[in-house]
A = this chain, B = another copy of it.
Amino acid sequence: KRSYNITLLPGDGIGPEIISISKDVLQLAASLEGIEIKYQEMPVGGSAFDLAGVPLPEETLAAAKQSDAVLLGAIGGYKWDKLEKKLKPETGLLQLRAGLDVFANLRPATVLPQLIDCTTLKREVAEGVDLMVVRELTAGIYFGEPRGFGVNEKGEEIGFNTEVYSVSQIDRIARVAFETARKRRGKLCSVDKANVLEASMLWRKRVTDMAADYPDVELSHMYIDNAAMQLIRDPKQFDTILTNNIFGDILSDEASMISGSIGMLPSASIGQSGPGLFEPIHGSAPDIAGQDKANPLATILSAAMLLRYGLGESKAAERIEAAVMETLNRGFRTGDIYSAGNKLVGCNEMGEQVMKSV
């Protein structure tokens, strides 16, 4: 019997609700495939700060590292916005990503036929969009040193950060992107700002060089400003997008909104070895926390990515994905994706309905 340990990190805001029901779905799909899973729940983010005074307690990171995969809800909230940087919920998330060395963040954005009315794009522009953003997650300006506050030569206060990439940091994420494109439609678009930034020039050079290893993948390059435009003009032109940490943060959120249903989109963060981190793209939505209104599908689909990319259990993953589609086909909708003629349900009921289809 295959058996795994999974760390659950509910986090803040709607995190606990979406994790709780997603765990039930995961558990059902796994057991139907004869997989045994042990769970441990640990604190992270603002709730960890409230409990332990830091946004990523040592025990949480240790538990995550020792498990086979990590499922995260969401972190952050107004309550913790004024904390100094090292205590912020966001810092806990960044420490977790760095601690697990999950440098490759895969963020799919698809327009589901069932939800075509949710996108603000015209139907003919949105229909059939199916792209994957491969975002570098543990380097670049998010982590670059030096950073901080200081004084410039005029005696004025400054705030500064460093955007920096090394060849090995570029190569390892580029390889994931080429492999991802190869398994998809064979098209890779690398996004940078190589007309201005040296960090991007090195990025473009390494990605271009690596293309020789992937003659079956069609590589193109695009500047970030143009990419932000092209995603709206004609999102169907994209298959796989490779980009750095900050540009990936921006582009993947933009892409998710194009899909019209940020409450639907999962993500996987994986490293060379060790456990992957799986989480919905959306945030902690403090305004609706605890009200049973959140859409759990992004987390449920993140659990499916956990099974596929984290544990290699594609059959159980497919069960969940198929169940989500069937639940949508049966007309169940949370508020964020509701449209007339469908059945409005809460977070928990949505999960229960998915379980009926697993």
Instruction: Determine if A196 and B142 form an interchain contact, defined as CB atoms under 8 angstroms apart.
Output: yes
Tell which of A11-19, A27-35, A165-173, A308-316 binds the partner: A165-173
Instruction: Determine if B257 and A232 form an interchain contact, defined as CB atoms under 8 angstroms apart.
Output: yes
Instruction: Determine if A229 and B256 form an interchain contact, defined as CB atoms under 8 angstroms apart.
Output: yes
Instruction: Determine if B199 and A160 form an interchain contact, defined as CB atoms under 8 angstroms apart.
Output: yes
Q: Nearest chain-B residue to A201 (Cβ)?
A: B159
**Number of chain A residues close to chain B: CB under 8 A:** 62
Query: A256 contacts which chain B residues (CB < 8 A)?
Result: 229
Stoichiometry, copies per complex: 2
Query: A148 contacts which chain B residues (CB < 8 A)?
Result: 198
Instruction: Determine if B250 and A147 form an interchain contact, defined as CB atoms under 8 angstroms apart.
Output: no
Q: Nearest chain-B residue to A165 (Cβ)?
A: B159
Q: Which of B159, B166, B196 contacts A199 (CB 8 A)?
A: B159
Contact A164/B158 with A228-B228, A229-B256 known, Cβ cut-off 8 Å: yes
Min CB–CB distance A8 → chain B (angstroms): 24
Interface presence of A262 (CB below 8 A):
yes
A201 to B195, CA, bound (A): 27
Min CB–CB distance A129 → chain B (angstroms): 12
Chain A 250-278 near chain B by CB (<8 Å), digits 1 or 0: 11111011100010000000000000000
Interchain Cβ contacts under 8 Å between A and B, 8 examples: A94-B196, A121-B232, A122-B122, A156-B166, A158-B202, A161-B198, A193-B249, A229-B257
Binding site for B on A (CB under 8 A): 76, 85, 88, 90, 94, 120-122, 125, 141-142, 144, 147-149, 152, 154, 156-168, 193, 195-203, 224-226, 228-234, 246-247, 249-254, 256-258, 262
Q: Beyond A120-B233, A193-B246, A225-B249: 15 further Cβ-contacts under 8 Å?
A: A90-B195, A120-B125, A121-B121, A141-B163, A147-B197, A152-B166, A159-B164, A159-B197, A159-B201, A160-B198, A224-B250, A225-B250, A228-B251, A228-B254, A232-B257
